[in-house]
């Protein structure tokens, strides 16, 4: 016949049994741990070292042939190089392509085809754009340059006649 609990044998444990949860009250307890052998602590360092060596041998045998100790740094370098390359490629591929330009005549040839009367008419038109201060400052810097009369094929008489016909108002000043 088995006893139902240790409380039947030891009256001091009755209080301990009552303090346990209901699920653990009827279960038998493990016996108390016995003290270790006297030579246990003498053999313990050797046992620990043999276990460490066994795990190191297992790690060495399971290690891959090619290891990268600096793998996180290489991964960062590869990632940044890839993203930079993708960015440059996107800019290079997405750049607008200028349409091919038709060959045009030289500016001197274009100016030669315009008569002096047309130039004066254009410059004196009401809706013609006015000259800004910045453009005037550029003209002052160009005054020292040698502008050949071949650029505007107009005689001095035509220029004087056109200037005489212009109304001089305060609008132009």
pLDDT digits (tens, 9 = 90+) for 124-166: 777 777 767 777 677 666 656 666 665 667 778 888 888 888 7
pLDDT digits (tens, 9 = 90+) for 68-112: 566 777 888 889 999 999 999 998 888 887 777 766 777 777 878
pLDDT greater than 70 at residue 22: yes
pLDDT digits (tens, 9 = 90+) for 45-57: 999 999 999 888 8
C-beta separation of 122 from 128 below 8 A: yes
Q: How far is CA 38 from the centre of its chain?
A: 67
Cβ neighbours for 159, distance < 8 A, ≥ 6 positions apart: 116
> Tokens 């004066």 sit at which residue?
120
pLDDT at 62: 61
How far apart CA 101 and CA 108 sit, in angstroms, is 19
**Helix H or strand E segment including 161:** helix 156-165
> Tokens 């254009």 sit at which residue?
122
Length of the chain, in residues:
173
What does pTM read for this prediction? 0.23
C-beta separation of 154 from 112 below 8 A: no
Q: How far is CA 59 from CA 10, 56, 65, 153, 162, in A?
A: 52, 5, 12, 94, 101
C-beta separation of 121 from 158 below 8 A: no
Task: Return the exposure string of 35-54: e unless at least 16 CB atoms fall within 10 Å of the residue's CB, then b.
Answer: eeeeeeeeeeeeeeeeeeee
pLDDT at 87: 93
How far apart CA 52 and CA 13 sit, in angstroms, is 43
In 20-145, where does DSSP find H-type helix?
22-25, 40-62, 71-93, 107-112, 116-124, 133-143
């Amino acid at each position: 016949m088995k006893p139902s609990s240790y409380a039947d044998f030891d009256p001091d444990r009755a209080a301990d049994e009552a303090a346990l949860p209901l699920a653990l009250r009827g279960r038998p307890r493990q016996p108390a741990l016995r003290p270790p052998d006297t030579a246990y602590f003498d053999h313990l360092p050797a046992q620990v070292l043999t276990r460490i060596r066994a795990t190191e041998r297992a790690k060495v045998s399971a290690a891959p042939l090619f290891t990268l100790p600096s793998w996180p740094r290489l991964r960062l370098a590869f990632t940044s190089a890839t993203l930079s390359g993708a960015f440059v490629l996107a800019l290079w591929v997405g750049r607008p392509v200028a349409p091919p330009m038709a060959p045009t005549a030289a500016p001197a040839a274009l100016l030669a085809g315009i008569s002096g009367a047309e130039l004066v008419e254009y410059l004196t038109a009401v809706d013609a754009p006015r000259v800004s201060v910045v453009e005037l400052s550029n003209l002052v810097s160009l005054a020292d340059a040698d502008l050949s009369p071949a650029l505007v094929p107009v005689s001095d008489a035509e220029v004087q006649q056109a200037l005489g016909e212009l109304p001089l108002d305060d609008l132009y000043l």
